[in-house]
Structure 1
Amino acid sequence: MTMSALSIRNMVVSFDEFRALDTVSLEIPVGESFGIVGESGSGKSTLLRAVAGLNRFESGSLEVNGRSYSGWRRDHEFYRTVQMVFQDPYGSLHPRQTVDRLLLEPLAIHGFSDTEARIERALDEVGLGSGFRFRFSHQLSGGQRQRIAIARALILEPKILLLDEPTSALDASIQAEILNLLEQARKDRGLTFIMVSHDLAVISHMCERLAVMKSGRVVETLNVEQLRRHDVATDYTRKLMVASEGFVRHEA
């Protein structure tokens, strides 16, 4: 039996009186690339943030590689294992820190000593040379910023990468480069991906299985082959497929 990298059972997240996640359960095996789709407000990013510890879940359970975690967590082992890449490369990097400082900070927090070699390797892995080390984020393009954000996530050698719309803020010409970079990193490192996207073309390219979310609930879980055959169980998923022009183009 394949071990679960991530096991979520009956997770609930509420903001005041609004229930953003309503008893969500998912099992994601080690090494899988798993997609989460749904319309805006469906709860997909809230779920990712709850797994990452950025939103507190009030009930339910979360296990990462067999270890249980509560709604709030601060231990270093979790963040060595789980890292997140955010949607907006302009908002996720500190504007007054150089690339070198941005990459050094997580290494310092986690007590790594071979910082020089790790920074050089991280930049090389995302296709940026050492000439980028002492630039500020405002001196970089959107695609370069997202590469730095990915390097920062990978530099701690995590096992699970949470990807919240990692290409949606980028030009179409750059999106494929970033997706290919992520896919290569997954293969090279044996990573588990959980990717949120509104674009079914991206999910069908990157993921093996996916969950469809609506109003804070998972309404359907299917594999990508079922998605490509339009073998779906709910009208909601069918409507998402019609609304996703990129998926229609991909299918054509």
Structure 2
Amino acid sequence: MSLPFLEVAALEVSFGAGAQAVRAVRGVSFAVQRGESFGLVGESGSGKSTILRALVGLNPASGGSMRVDGVELGMTRDKALRRRMQMVFQDPYGSLHPRQTVDSQLSEALRIQSLADGERRIRTILDQVGLGPRFRFRYPHQLSGGQRQRVAIARALIVEPEILLLDEPTSALDVSVQAEVLNLLMALRQERNLTYIFVSHDLSVIATMCGRLAVMQSGAIVEELSASQLRDRHTTTDYARTLLAASEGYRPQG
């Protein structure tokens, strides 16, 4: 097998100092191949989102290493390295500026990365996320939750990243809208050969979206599974079995 595209090794993330320090991520290691979709599941507070925020540079790592294509992800990252990895957050309303139009927010992403040909890029990405030109000059409050999340996805993808970090991207949406957004994300991954790190508490979502996953508890990975093992409930730890049993509405998909 080729070297992993994304590699996390013995990652530590702590908040606070001294006796008050909290180890939010404890020695987490995993590797992801280019074009793969890898899931992180666990209870609230298990460290899933903290890992994503460390990868994208929002939470500093206190130990271990993170690499993309062999390049170390340190605290200081150049523009090209930041462009390679983008994040979509859980709350599409909170992640969008309420006083900026869709056009302004997409244009700002291009400006930060010093990318030209903005008109073409904006038109193309709005079409690809299923919105089209009529949404271009609307404000977030004029959009539904699903439309706002499509804008958030468009903003992440307009700079043409290779890795998309997805932090519970459908948990704030109605069930019918969730399916639409998940189908969109699956199509975009195939079209753009994207690599996904997908965080969710919903095991049915992870089983649909990811080929492999890691189960997290108290900041550490306690088990790694394939999607087929998850669907067949072939788990090896009591915690993973408890998580499956507690997942209301979870139904294995064939």
Shorter-chain TM-score tier: over 0.9
Q: Is it true that 1:56 corresponds to 2:60 in the alignment? A: yes
1:10 is matched with 10
Q: Is it true that 1:140 corresponds to 2:143 in the alignment? A: yes
Q: Deviations over 1:46-66 (max 9, x none)?
A: 111111111000110110111
Q: Deviations over 1:64-105 (max 9, x none)?
A: 1111121x2342112211000000001000001010000001
Instruction: Give runs of aligned pairs for residues 1-252 of structure 1, distance below 5 A.
Output: 1-16=1-16, 17-70=21-74, 72-247=75-250, 249-251=251-253
Q: Which runs of 5+ in 1 are unaligned?
A: none
Q: Which runs of 5+ in 2 are unaligned?
A: none
Q: Deviations over 1:129-149 (max 9, x none)?
A: 111111111111100000000
SS at match of 1:246: coil
Shift of 1:246: 2.9
Partner Cα distance (1:41, 1:155) in 2: 31
Name the aligned partner's letter for residue 95 of structure 2: S
TM-score by length of 1: 0.97
* 4+ aligned runs moved over 6 Å, structure 1: none
8 Å CA contact retained: 1:4, 1:27: yes
8 Å CA contact retained: 1:3, 1:30: no
8 Å CA contact retained: 1:2, 1:30: no
8 Å CA contact retained: 2:231, 2:252: no
Q: Residues 106, 251 of structure 1: CA spacing in aligned structure 2 closer, same or farther, 3 A cutoff?
A: closer
Shift of 1:3: 3.2
Q: Deviations over 1:7-53 (max 9, x none)?
A: 01111111111100011111111111000000011101111111111
8 Å CA contact retained: 1:12, 1:21: yes
TM-score by length of 2: 0.96
Partner Cα distance (1:188, 1:3) in 2: 23
